[in-house]
Amino acid sequence: MENPKSILITGASSGIGEALALHYAASGVTLHLCGRDRARLEGVASRSAARGATVSAEVVDVADRDAVRVWVEHCDGLAPLDLVFANAGVGIGQSEGAMEEIAAQTFAINVSGVFHTAHPAADLMRGRRRGQIAIVSSVAGYQGLASAPAYSASKAAVKAYGEALRGYLEPEGVRISVICPGFVVSRITAQNTFSMPFLMPADRAARIIARGLARNRGRITFPWQMVIAARVLANLPMWALDWTARRAPRK
């Protein structure tokens, strides 16, 4: 879908979500944005509107299945959705609480939040036999990381789910793409105290994502250096992974 006109983005108040909103904002485009921080969200909405887009913005908790479904269906009623980004995510450091609590909070947003967004959107698109859904995973989803167990596991889950969903929904006219960024400037990466190789500005990431979606690429992973590193890591023997884990910085 080269020129989507009705676009929904979760996690639109910062990072990749904010950059995507500003990238697509133009005359004739309707943007439906949600986030957790009202002030930041309204700032993104204002800048998007200044570029000519028609913008609606709501504070929505993607962990709330019923609230997200109501919002998605309401947005579709305003302008039938062409493109949906299940983008909202969190990266909670392991030092910020008990493992169980961190895992539960991370999966509520990074996994259930994706389901809550993608499922109602897919239901609507299947009825029209057209539409595109972008599921935001991460390069961290290629291999479980000792530095971020819950985060990497959550991103692995939505990566696998999106890849499977692509083949499942393709016969019904719904396109699914999985986005696996490396380090991108955002509120999540701002928390990291370790070196982040190939750290990319969010606006550049948005351009790469938009090009990939226009070409209906099933998996959009970048930068290429991180793709190579992720694939090498995923194929290391266990003893090598153990050695790497002992030396990895903790998030």
**pLDDT tens per residue across span 55-68:** 999 999 999 999 99
> Which comes out higher in pLDDT, residue 189 or 2?
2
Average pLDDT over residues 126-140: 96
Q: What is the DSSP string of 57-89?
A: EEE--TT-HHHHHHHHHHHHHHS--SEEEE---
Decide if 142 is catalytic: no
**Strands in 183-234 per DSSP E:** 219-222
Q: How sure is the predictor about 234, in pLDDT bands with cuts at 50, 70 and 90?
A: confident
Percent of the chain with pLDDT over 90: 72
Residue 233 has pLDDT above 90, yes or no: no
Residue-level pLDDT at 235: 78
| Three-state DSSP class for residue 30 | strand
Please report the domains of the chain, with CATH numbers, ordered by start residue: 6-247 (3.40.50.720)
pLDDT at 97: 66
Strands of 74-190 (E only): list them: 83-86, 131-136, 174-181
Q: What pLDDT is stored for residue 197 in this prediction?
A: 65
Residue-wise pLDDT for 142-154, tens only, equals: 988 888 899 999 9
Cα(74)–Cα(40) distance, rounded to whole angstroms? Answer: 22
* Active-site pick, 24, 142, 151, 161: 151
pLDDT confidence of residue 76? 98
**Looking at residue 108, what is its pLDDT?**
97
Average pLDDT over residues 163-174: 97
* Residue 175 near residue 1, CB atoms below 8 Å: yes
pTM for the model: 0.90
Length of the chain: 251
**pLDDT value for 195:** 63
At 199, is the pLDDT very low, low, confident or very high (cuts 50, 70, 90)? confident
Tell me what percent of the residues of the chain surpass a pLDDT of 70: 89
Residues 211-219: what's their mean pLDDT? 97
**Angstrom distances, CA of residue 217 to CA of 212, 230, 234:** 5, 19, 22
pLDDT category of residue 70 using cuts at 50, 70 and 90: very high
Peptide bond just before 171 cis, omega within 30 deg: no
Average pLDDT, the chain: 90
Task: Give the residue-averaged pLDDT of 122-142.
Answer: 96
Split at pLDDT 50, 70, 90, the class of 250 is: low
